[in-house]
């Protein structure tokens, strides 16, 4: 398996623009997570899906952020409008939903909002 | 829910030195415990895990033992290499039967030649 695939790897956008980050989880995994990593806050869980259904979005910072999982092999995280404080590395991770299994991470999308 | 605390970094060592990165947790029940590693410019990778008390996880020369008595899962390596320079994260599920992992703040390790 190719692992968790995220695109793009790098994104530079202007403040106010819409940004869409994409993720393809590992085939057969039924849990998907979006994390944000910054120097100030470390690794934060934004949202997690189980069987394509959002279970917990309490980590989504505000209404400008939205996430979807239309099917088992694809998820998006959208920021509209983007702001400079959204600059971070965004990771997608997937796992087989079991209490003692690990999550597998993608390589991340480095987002810079100028 | 469960929580995890790990030592702050950075930790700077010379090559072939002994490494310990401390991790302690609070949890209901006996969740699995994980160490993840993040190399520069990459995502997190699972380094090792332990699923029950007294289990020892090991990989790439790293070891960690699940200590129920001290609620600890310290990461150790007998002889570090420059290539071990990375950020290390301790993690555990948020609660019993929870699919959500919570991560420590990360400890940066820098190994000098």
B42 vs A contacts (CB less than 8 Å): 107-108
Q: Are B58 and B77 in contact (CB under 8 A)?
A: no
pLDDT band (50, 70, 90) for residue B101: confident
Question: How far apart (Å, rounded) are the C-alpha atoms in residues A95 and B99?
Answer: 8
pLDDT digits 0-9 by tens, A22-45: 999 999 999 999 999 998 888 889
pLDDT digits 0-9 by tens, B78-97: 999 999 999 999 999 877 66
Q: Are A91 and A108 in contact (CB under 8 A)?
A: yes
What pLDDT is recorded for position A21? Answer: 98
What pLDDT is recorded for position B33? Answer: 93
Q: Considering chain B, what is the average pLDDT of its residues?
A: 92
Omega into B75 within 30° of 0, i.e. cis? no
Helix (H, G, I), strand (E, B) or coil at A84: helix
Contact criterion met (CB < 8 Å) for B103 and A42: yes
Contact criterion met (CB < 8 Å) for B45 and A105: yes
Helix (H, G, I), strand (E, B) or coil at A82: coil
What pLDDT is recorded for position A1? Answer: 64
Candidates B101, B104, B107, partner chain A, best to mutate (most A CBs within 10 A):
B101
What tokens does B65 get? 């033992």
Whether the per-residue pLDDT at B4 is higher than 90: the answer is yes
Nearest Cα to B27, choosing from B53, B46, B56, B9? B53
Reduce the secondary structure of chain B to three states and give it as a string. CCEEEECCCCEEEECCCCEEECEEEECCCCCCEEEEEECCCCCEEEEEEECCCCCEEEECCEEEECECCCCECCEEECCCCHHHCEEEEEEEECCCCCCCEEECCCEEEEEEC
DSSP character at residue A73: T
Nearest Cα to A45, choosing from A24, A64, A70, A67? A67
Which residue of B31, B43, B106 is in closest CB contact with A108? B43
Contact criterion met (CB < 8 Å) for B99 and A107: no
Better pLDDT: A63 or B97: A63
């Amino acid at each position: 398996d190719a692992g968790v695939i995220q695109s793009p790897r790098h994104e530079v956008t202007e403040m106010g623009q819409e940004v869409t980050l994409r993720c393809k989880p590992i085939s057969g995994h039924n849990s998907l997570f979006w994390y944000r990593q910054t120097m100030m806050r470390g690794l934060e869980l934004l949202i997690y899906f189980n069987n394509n259904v959002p279970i917990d979005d309490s980590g989504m910072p505000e209404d400008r952020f939205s996430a979807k999982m239309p099917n088992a092999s694809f998820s998006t995280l959208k920021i509209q409008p983007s702001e400079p404080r959204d600059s971070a590395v965004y990771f997608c991770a997937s796992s087989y939903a079991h209490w003692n299994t690990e999550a597998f991470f993608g390589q991340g999308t480095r987002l810079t909002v100028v | 829910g469960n929580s995890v605390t790990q030592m702050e970094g950075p930790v700077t060592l010379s090559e072939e030195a002994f490494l310990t990165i401390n991790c302690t947790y609070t949890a209901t029940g006996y969740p699995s415990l994980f160490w993840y590693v993040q190399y520069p410019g990459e995502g997190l990778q699972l380094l090792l895990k332990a699923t029950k008390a007294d289990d020892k996880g090991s990989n790439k020369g790293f070891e960690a033992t699940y200590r129920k008595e001290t609620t600890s899962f310290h990461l150790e390596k007998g002889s570090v290499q420059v290539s071990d320079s990375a950020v290390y994260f301790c993690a555990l599920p948020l609660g019993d039967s929870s699919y959500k992992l919570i991560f420590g703040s990360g400890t940066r390790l820098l190994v000098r030649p």
